[in-house]
Amino acid sequence: MQINVDRGAARASGMKRKSGNRVLALGLAIAFAAPVHAAKDPGAAILPPRANSSQQQAPAQQAPAQQQAPAQQQAPAQQAPVQQAPAQQAPAQSGALAPVQKTQVNSQAAYERLLNNSGVTVQWLWSAQRGKLNAIDDNDVVRLEGTQANFEGTLKIKGEVVSIDSDRFVFRGTILILDAPDKGRRCERTGDYEFKATGKRKYWRLQQMESCGRLTDYVDVFY
């Protein structure tokens, strides 16, 4: 009987140890399970990642650059044609003759003959008398103006003398022939022309004889 009591006590103590171990194991299981339940708690607040906020703001910064680029490229193209206006003013002064400042006299005898000339003619006016050619010295500039005219036509000459030599002079001005040798003809020339005396002739003859319609005009100034 002594032996049975000891065995019963041993069994009782063994059961107590097993129950204590179970309680300890259960406590540890609860302790480890607590963080898991806390992490899975649906009520916990979850903050959005910062990387998403930077990705959403990136397109907003590119918009101003796309709107300003075309405006800067189109502005110079509208101003380019304004610089072409001054090029249209060039031909305004063409054809003008410079006035003679002073007649260059290289022969005093020829100078006096010209001032005291005996008239001007063109060969087309066969029956006309010599036209009168006025020659004056106006402040060292010799000026000529004369006309020959009848029913056959008209010759007019007006201008200044650039220079006078012993056998020639240079005239700057206008020579006009009307209705000679044919009615309706008009031959007008303006510029510098040379009149020259040759041999024993008592006149200076225009050297640029052909000007209009390939006709030869003998314009002579007599002395």
pLDDT, tens digit (0-9, with 9 covering 90-100), for 22-36 = 545 555 544 444 444
Whether 147 and 132 have beta carbons less than 8 Å apart is answered as yes
- What span, in angstroms and rounded, lies between the C-alpha atoms of 219 and 99? 23
For 144, counting Cβ atoms within 10 Å of its Cβ (0-12 exposed, 13-18 middle, 19+ buried), the class is buried
CB 153 within 8 A of CB 172: no
Is residue 61 over pLDDT 90?
A: no
Which of the two residues, 201 and 52, has the higher pLDDT score? 201
- The predicted model gives 170-195 an average pLDDT of 97
Domain ranges of the chain: 1-40, 104-222
168: nearest Cα among 111, 103, 97, 99? 111
From CA 150, how far away is CA 125, in angstroms rounded?
A: 7
pTM score, two decimals? 0.58
pLDDT digit string, tens, across residues 121-152: 999 999 999 999 999 999 999 999 999 999 99
Find the helix or strand (DSSP H, E) in which 141 lies: strand 141-150
